[in-house]
Each structure stands twice: as C-alpha cells, then as structure tokens.
Amino acid sequence: MGDLVVGLDIGTHKITTIVGEVRPEDIYIVGLGIEPSDGMKKGVVDNISALSTAISKSVRRAEKSSGLDIGRAYVSVSGSHIDSRSSRGVATIVGSRTVQAEDVEKALSVARSIDIPHSREILHVVPRSYTVDSQEGVINPIGMHCFRLEVDAHIITASTTSLANLEDAVESAGLLVDRFVLNPLAAGDAVLTVHEREMGAVVIDIGGGTTDLAIFIDGTVWHTAVIPHGGNDVTDDITHWMRVPFGLAEQVKLQKGHADANAVAEDEVFPVEPFGGEIMPVSRQHLAQVIEMCYEDIFEAVQIEIMRSGYSSQLRAGAIITGGGSQMPGYRDIASRSLKLPVRLAQPEKITGIADALKNPSYSTSVGLLRVGLELSSVIGGEQKAGPGIGLPVANWSRRMKEMFYRFLPQDD
C-alpha cells in the first residue's frame, strides 16, 4: 500500500472523514467515518466545541474502520467569507537559459503579493496559464527559452478568523490541519471528466448550508465562489410554510419533496403528524411550489455569479451539479433554464475499497479532498505542518512544484 492521506469534509449537514490511497486511476478507500454535523452554519463555524465533538466522532469512526490512528487531514473550507480574484506576476530570466522551477516560483510569488486586508489570508494560488515572452497560453513553461515569464493566476482568499475557528475545532478534536482545501475545487476534482475540464464547465455543489461553484476552463480553475444558500434553506422555507420543527420539515422534504410543481398531481394530499400535535393534511403540489421557488433562488444566485465571472460563454461542457441538494427530483429544468446550459447530475467516480457509501452526490467534496489536497501543494497560507499519524510527509519544494503542474499533465478520463 502506498501513502495514505486523510480528507476531513466539514459540512453544515454532515462530517465525513476518509482515509485512502490516491492512485492515478482511482482512490482506494480504507477508512470512513460519516457523522451528522453540529456547530456549523452556512459553511462557517458557529459553535467550536459542538463542532469539535462532531469532528471527533467522525474521525474516531474512520480510525475504527481503517484500524489506523489519524493525526492530520486535508480539511474542506467553504462559507461566504471566501473571495477570489485574478492576478499576474512576472519573472525576468537573466542570461540565455531556459525557465526553471525557481522562475515559476518567482512569478507566482509576485502574483500572490496582492493587497489584502489584515483580516484575510490567501488560501490558494492556482496558476492558470503562462506567457513566455510574447507566446500566450503556455501550460507548462519549464524548459522553454525565455527572457520574460508571466503567470496569470487565480487567487482565493479567506477570512483569517473563519479559518482560525475551523482550525481550533479540528485541533480540539486531536488532529492537525495538513492544509485547507476550498470545497468546490475538491468537488470539481471528484466529478469532472478531463474532457469537461478542458472544454469549460461549471461545477455546482448544492450542500446543506452553501452552494459552492467552480469554473474549470482549459484544464484548470478560472473562477470560484460560495453562495450562502443550500438545502437547509429549502427545509427552512418548508418549516415556515408548514409551521413545523426543522427535523420534521426535513423528513417531509426528503420523502415528498419535488422541485417541479407541474409534475405533481394537483389533488395529492399526504398526512403530517407534528410531535404532540394534530395530524394535518398537506398538499404535495403546494410543497413542490415552496421547493421550486427555493431552487429558483439558488440557481438565480449561481447564474449571477457565473455572469460576474465573465466566463459564461466559455462553458461548452455545461453545468455539472452535485452535493446532497442535487438529489431533489424535478429541479433539472430550473437549472438548465436559469443557467442556459446543459446540465449533468454527478457523484464521485473512480473510488474503490470501502467506497459504496460514498457513491452518492453528497460525498463529491469529501472524495475530491484527498486528491486535491495532494495536488494543490502550491497552496499558500502557512507551511504544511508535520504531525503524528498518517498523512503526507512535509513536502519539499521540488515535490510541491511537481504537484503544482500535476493538473496540467494529461490524464486519462
């Protein structure tokens, strides 16, 4: 067995710990712990001790199923505190020689030296493409002759306090954060084909607290965003409409929910019995209307974000939708109508070992974390921390450079 890595996906709805070996052809899963989340709201921490207890349960379960001690993990990050922008960096190559890894590092460090407030920090620096003298769109400049190397990078920033709260909760559960990984980068990795990534696609992860999106073009990430609405908002609206507790509204949503009111019979009525209350008849079509409106709001917000990115005309492979909320029947038309794109529903592929429970759209981010954690070693925001237990050894620079380019190397579909 090769190196094992750990992904800890801290969602608003559930916490998933996965122990696995990342192989070129698949991810071989040897340990798994899935527990309900607590202390999270809309992708950010709102109760550190409750969250820490929930993380601990998920990790202990993964330890039990793998028979291993877990010391550190790649940890998912979401929330509306995430922001992203483009930046360019230049390095001059002195003397007549070819581009080396150090030159790329220099150009990237210039790209990342953007003005950000003290309250924020850089989470990821993703190189999009390079310009080698006047030749634009170079994917891997290493080894090319050049005087002036320019990088076009996508810089993702996060609120320092939001990350610190998340890190505190993870550490209180007894493990170290290997590095943080933005949710939609992980989801994109788990569900996109190489073809889609090259053609241009938007990955939309409808979770409990947030809907995360990432635009992939020419094989890499061009834009990312987090929208603070997800499946919990759908349940909240049902709660208000029916005047029942959240748990009961969630049950009703999962059992009877539909996002296309026209597809539901007008006269279909089902009974709901609130705890300690009287049985009430509920019109399924009315329920569907409430849900439909919520999904319309979510996709409208997604569409605004796609337009804001400036890349709407480049999404030739369409929208790939995943996350727990993507399992609601009937929303597909809303999605393709709002986004004006072909839509595909996706779940993690190419997972082996004890993977059955993960073959569901809810786990795309959880699965993608393992590979992206390894790939995006160009993540800036603190050196990788050594810790006890399994996980990657501290990366050396050449390894980090290799990983930085990994995404640009051809992969099998």
Residues 6+ apart with CB under 8 A from 99: 93, 132, 141, 142, 143, 144, 145, 146, 149
365 touches Mg ion (CB under 5 A): yes
Token readout for 131 is 């310009």
The answer to whether the beta carbons of residues 385 and 26 sit under 8 Å apart is no
Q: What is the 3-state secondary structure (H, E, C) of 144-187?
A: CECCEEEEEEEEEEEEHHHHHHHHHHHHHCCCEEEEEEEHHHHH
Cα–Cα distance for residue pair 23/211, rounded to 1 Å: 29
Among the listed residues 168, 138, 174, 156, the one whose alpha carbon sits nearest the alpha carbon of residue 78: 156
230 touches Mg ion (CB under 5 A): no
11 touches Mg ion (CB under 5 A): yes
Please give the single-letter amino acid code of residue 173: A
Minimal distance, residue 232 CB to ligand ATP, in Å: 5
Cα–Cα distance for residue pair 124/157, rounded to 1 Å: 7
The only residue of 27, 28, 32, 37 in contact with ligand ATP, by rule CB under 6 A: 37
Q: Which does 309 bind (CB under 5 to 8 A by kind): ligand ATP, Mg ion, none?
A: none
Based on CB atoms, which residue is closest to ligand ATP, 16 or 309?
Answer: 16
Please give the single-letter amino acid code of residue 82: I
Minimal distance, residue 383 CB to ligand ATP, in Å: 27
3-state secondary structure of 240: helix
Cα–Cα distance for residue pair 46/166, rounded to 1 Å: 10
43 touches ligand ATP (CB under 6 A): yes
Based on CB atoms, which residue is closest to ligand ATP, 6 or 45?
Answer: 45
Q: Which does 303 bind (CB under 5 to 8 A by kind): ligand ATP, Mg ion, none?
A: none
The only residue of 157, 232, 338, 384 in contact with ligand ATP, by rule CB under 6 A: 232
Site residues for ligand ATP, window 344-383 (CB under 6 A)? 362
The only residue of 4, 8, 13, 121 in contact with ligand ATP, by rule CB under 6 A: 13
Length of the chain: 413
The only residue of 7, 39, 200, 207 in contact with Mg ion, by rule CB under 5 A: 207
The only residue of 89, 208, 330, 368 in contact with ligand ATP, by rule CB under 6 A: 208
Based on CB atoms, which residue is closest to ligand ATP, 19 or 321?
Answer: 321
Name the residues that contact ligand ATP, by CB under 6 A. 11-14, 37, 43, 78, 207-210, 230-232, 235, 250, 253-254, 257, 323-325, 327-328, 362
Which residues sit at the interface with Mg ion, rule CB under 5 A?
11, 207, 365
